[in-house]
Amino acid sequence: MPATTGAPVAAPAGARRPLLFGAAPRPQAPSPPLTTTRCRRAAHGTPPPPSSSSGAAARRRGVKEYVEAAREMARHKDGGPPRWFSPLECGGGRVPGAPTLLYLPGTVSVSSDRMFDLWCLHIPVEDRTPFAGLVEYVERAVKSESSRAPDRPIYLVGESVGACVALAVAARNPGIDLVLILVNPGTSFHRSQLQTLSAFLDLVPEPFHLTTPQLLNFLTGNLMKMPEAFVGRGLSLQEAGPRLSETTSSMLDSLTILVDVLTKESIVCKLEMLKASSSFVNSRLHAVKAQTLVLASGNDELLPSTQEAERLRGALEKCRTRVFRDNGHKILLEAGFDLATTIKGAGYYRRTRRTDFVADYIPPTPDELQQAIDHDRGATEVLNFQGPKACHRPVMLSTLGDGRVVRGLAGLPREGPAVLVGYHMLLGLELGPMVTGILSGTGVHVRGLAHPFMFDGGTERLMPDSAHFDLHRVMGAVPVTGANFYRLLADKEFVLLYPGGAREALHRKGEEYKLFWPEQPEFVRMASRFGATIVPFGVVGEDDICHLLLDYNDLQKVPFYGMLDEALNRDGLRLRTDSMGEVKDQRMHPLLLAPKVPGRFYFVFGKPIETRGREKELRDKEAAQRLYLQVKSEVEGCINYLKEKREEDPYRSILPRLLYQALHGPNAEIPTFEP
C-alpha cells in the first residue's frame, strides 16, 4: 500500500474498501511504498472470525502490528505530508457497520480489532505542518467519513497533542457525531514538566542525543511494560521466553531508529506545537459537544493527567473519565491495557447515533474473560487471602430432565432463548462467578438485566472507582427494561433475571436468602411469547464470606446520609413504581461488611421449565400466575437444598481446600458433598 494517496483507492469488484485519506502529494518524488501495511479486503458482509471454544471472541491483534508499521515508516526520512495508514491486515473480520476510528498520536508515529475501521495518522519526523494544518487535515477526513456514513459515529483517539487535535476538530464541528477518546491529553501542558524540558532544550548544543529520562519517557513510554503487550498474553512459559527475547530486541531496534531520526529541531517543534495546541483548545472547551472519554495515567511523569481528567470532566458537556494508576504516559503501548476493552467497559461503543447495549454488543475476548474471572476471584479474597484459583471456584450443580441433581452444568440447556431466574445474593457476589463459570464451562453466554445505576454517568462519579461496573458491561449486562428483555429473547439469548432486584441484593440484617419478588408474573408471559426455557436457580455462600454490620436502616440514622441517598437514587426510584411494599424499594445504598474466613459458593440450577408449545395457555393470567409461583417455589427449594447439603461438605472452609490442593495439585477439582 503506498504511503501517500491523493484519491480513494479503487476496490476490487464486490468489495467495500474504506476511504484512504491523504493530502495531495507535494511536488517531489513519492515516498517508498510500505510493505508492512498490507490490507486485504474480503467481500462486504463476511462474518466475523469464529468464536473460541470458550464462547468468547477471537483474540485481538494490535500493538505489534502498529509498531512494525510505524518502525518501517520511520526508516524513510521525508518531510511529509501527514498520511493515514492501517496497521492491520483487515479482511472480513470487522463486524457489520463498524464505525471509523482515527488514531491521532501524540509524538511519533493503537489498535482495536474488528470493532473499528481503524486508521492511524502518521506524521513524518521532518514534517513541519503546524497545529492548525493538522486540525484541518483531520477535519477533512472526518467530514469525508461523515458524508459517507452519516448514521455512524466517528471515533477520534488522540494522546497528548493528538488529544488537542481531536478537541479542536470537535469544537469546530458540533454537528458531526464524534466520540473522543483522549489519552493523557496535552491540555495540561502549562502545568507540566514539559515546559521546563522545552526551556532546557533551547540550551542544549548540537549534536543532540536522547539522554534525558523524561524525554525518553515522553517519546517511548515505559519500556519495561511493553514486552508483554508486544508478545501477547496467554502463552506458556516455553513459548513466551523466545518470543519475549525476540520482541524486546525488536523494541530496542525501534528505539535505535528513533534516536537516529529525531533531531533537536523536531523535538523542539513538537513541544512548541503542544504548547500552542493546549492554549488554543483550552479557550474552546465550551464548544465541544461530543461524547468524550478521558483516559489518565496515574504514573504519568510528564503531564498531570489525573488532575486534568477531573478538570475536563467538569468542563466538557458529555465527559467520563478512567484512571489507570499503575500506567505511564504511553499507556497505549503498555502491557495490560486494552483500548477496545476500555471503550466497551465505559459503555462508549456504538455503531449508530444512539448507544444500543443489545445490538452493538461484542462478546468478550479470551483475555477479557480471564480478566473477569480474576476480578471475581478477588471479590472473595476478603481477607487478602491469595490462594490457588481452584480454591475460589464455586460448586456448580444442575438438574437433569429426569430430576437427578448432578455436579456440573450438564442440566443447563444449550440453545436459547432461555431465562435464568433466581436469588440475588448480597451485593450480587454471585454474578461474576456464575456468568464466567457458565461461559468458560459450556460456551453459553448469559446476558444480565442490570440496574440503571450501573449505566448512569452522574452516579458513576459517586463511586470510589469510576470503572467499578465496567466488567459487567464487557460481559454483556444491559439496562433492565421490558424492551431490552424482549430484544434479547428475540435474539435467542440466555437472559439472567432477578425479580428481587436491588431490594434483594441490598437486603437488611436477618434477611439472608429471603426472596423479595413482586406479585405480578413479570417475566412468564414474555418468556412464553418466545417459547423460552425458564431455569430456576439458587445460590448460597454469602454468610460464609462476610457479616453485615450496617444496613440501610442503620445508615438512615447517620447524619447527612439523606443527601447521599438522594444523589444515588435519582434513576433507581423509577423502577417498580407500580409495585407495593418492600418490593417497590429498589433504592441503591452502601453497606458496611466485616470479612470472614472465606467459605464456598454453591449454585444449583433447577429442572428447566419449557414454555414452548404453551404460548396460548400462558396468555391466561391465572395460568401465568401459577407458573410464576412454581418458579418462585423452585428457587426457594434450590436455596433450602444447598443450605442443607453444604453442611455435608468437608471442604466448605478454605483450609481443607488448600490442603487438598497441596496434595493433589493446584488444578485438581476439589470434591464436595454427594448431590
Following DSSP, what letter does each residue of 234-285 receive, concatenated?
S--HHHHHHHHHHHHHHHHHHHHHHHHH--HHHHHHHHHHHHHHHHHHHTTG
Cell numbers 453497606: residue:
591
> Minimal CA–CA distance to 290: which of 400, 157, 140?
157
Residue 322 has pLDDT above 50, yes or no: yes
Mean pLDDT lowest among 12-26, 58-72, 599-613: 12-26
Which comes out higher in pLDDT, residue 199 or 618? 618
What percentage of the chain reaches a pLDDT higher than 90? 49
Looking at residues 199-221, what average pLDDT do you find? 57
pLDDT grade for 577, boundaries at 50, 70 and 90:
low
Whole-angstrom distance, CA of residue 587 vs CA of residue 572: 6
Residue with cell 459458593: 601
pLDDT at 223 over 80: no
294 DSSP β-pair partners: 182, 321
Identify the residue whose cell numbers are 434477611.
Answer: 511
Evaluate the omega torsion of the peptide bond into residue 417 and state whether it is cis, within 30 degrees of 0. yes
Q: What is the pLDDT of residue 146?
A: 95
Strand order in the sheet with 154-160: 83-85, 117-122, 100-104, 154-160, 178-185, 291-297, 319-324
Mean pLDDT, to the nearest integer, of 359-382?
Answer: 81
Q: Do 422 and 513 form a contact (C-beta atoms < 8 A)?
A: no
Structure-block grid coordinates of residue 493 = 439469548
> What is the DSSP secondary structure assignment for residue 188, as one 8-state letter?
G
In the prediction, which pLDDT does 239 show?
55
Flag whether pLDDT at 395 surpasses 80. Answer: yes
Which tops the pLDDT comparison, 216 or 181?
181
Res 518 pLDDT > 50? yes
Rg from Cα positions in the chain:
27
Burial class (CB in 10 A: 0-12, 13-18, 19+), 228: middle
387 — pLDDT class (breaks 50, 70, 90): low
pLDDT at 93: 58
636: confidence class by pLDDT, cuts 50, 70, 90: very high
Residue 365 sits at the vertex; the CA angle it makes with 359 and 369, to the nearest 5 degrees, is 105
573 has pLDDT over 80:
no
pLDDT at residue number 581: 57
Cell output for 400: 437433569
Averaged over 522-550, what is the pLDDT? 94
Q: Is residue 5 predicted with pLDDT exceeding 70?
A: no
Q: Determine the pLDDT at residue 578.
A: 58
pLDDT-based confidence at residue 446 (cuts at 50, 70, 90): very high
Top-confidence residue, 355 or 380: 355
Task: Give yes or no for residue 49 having a pLDDT over 50.
Answer: no
The percentage of residues in the chain with a pLDDT greater than 70, rounded to a whole number, is 71
- How much is the average pLDDT of 475-500? 96
* Residue of 334 and 7 predicted with greater confidence: 334
Q: Is the pLDDT at 189 greater than 60, yes or no?
A: yes
Q: Is the pLDDT of residue 64 over 50?
A: yes
- Name all domains of the chain by residue range, CATH numbers in brackets: 65-345 (3.40.50.1820), 366-664 (3.40.1130)
Contact 521, 624 (CB under 8 A): yes
The residue-averaged pLDDT of 600-614 equals 95
Q: Give the integer Cα–Cα distance in Å for 313 and 318.
A: 8
> What value does the mean pLDDT take over residues 258-276?
74
Average of per-residue pLDDT across 591-617? 92
Residue 364 has what pLDDT?
93
Q: Distance (Å, rounded) from C-alpha 243 to C-alpha 1?
A: 28
Q: What does the pLDDT look like over 90-147, one tens digit per residue?
A: 444 578 888 988 888 754 434 455 788 888 888 887 788 899 999 999 999 999 999 9
> Is pLDDT of 159 > 50?
yes
pLDDT tens readout for residues 332-352: 888 778 899 999 999 999 999
Tell me the pTM. Answer: 0.81
Mean pLDDT over residues 414-442, rounded?
A: 94
Three-state DSSP string of 89-146: CCCCCCCCCCCEEEEECCCCCCCCCCCCEEEEEECCCCCCCCHHHHHHHHHHHHHHHH
User: pLDDT value at position 56?
Assistant: 55
Sign of the alpha-carbon dihedral angle for 225, 227, 233, 234: negative
pLDDT band per the 50, 70, 90 thresholds, residue 466:
confident
Regarding beta strands 478-479 and 446-450, do their DSSP bridges make them parallel or antiparallel, or are they unpaired? parallel
Whole-number pLDDT of residue 170: 97
CA terminus-to-terminus distance, the chain: 62
Dump strand ranges (E) for 298-342. 319-324
| Sequence-distant (≥ 6) Cβ neighbours of residue 505 within 8 angstroms | 424, 425, 426, 427, 428, 498
Q: Which of 10-24, 224-238, 346-360, 604-618 has the weakest average pLDDT? A: 10-24
Mean pLDDT, residues 601-621: 94
Q: 10 Å Cβ neighbour count for 231?
A: 22
pLDDT at 575 over 70: no
Q: Among 271-280, 288-297, 532-541, whose mean pLDDT is lowest?
A: 271-280
Could you tell me which residue, 51 or 82, shows the higher pLDDT? 82
Model confidence band, residue 149 (pLDDT cutoffs 50, 70, 90)? very high
Model pLDDT, residue 53: 38
Average pLDDT in the chain: 79
Task: Report the distance separating Cα 498 and Cα 426, nearest Å.
Answer: 12
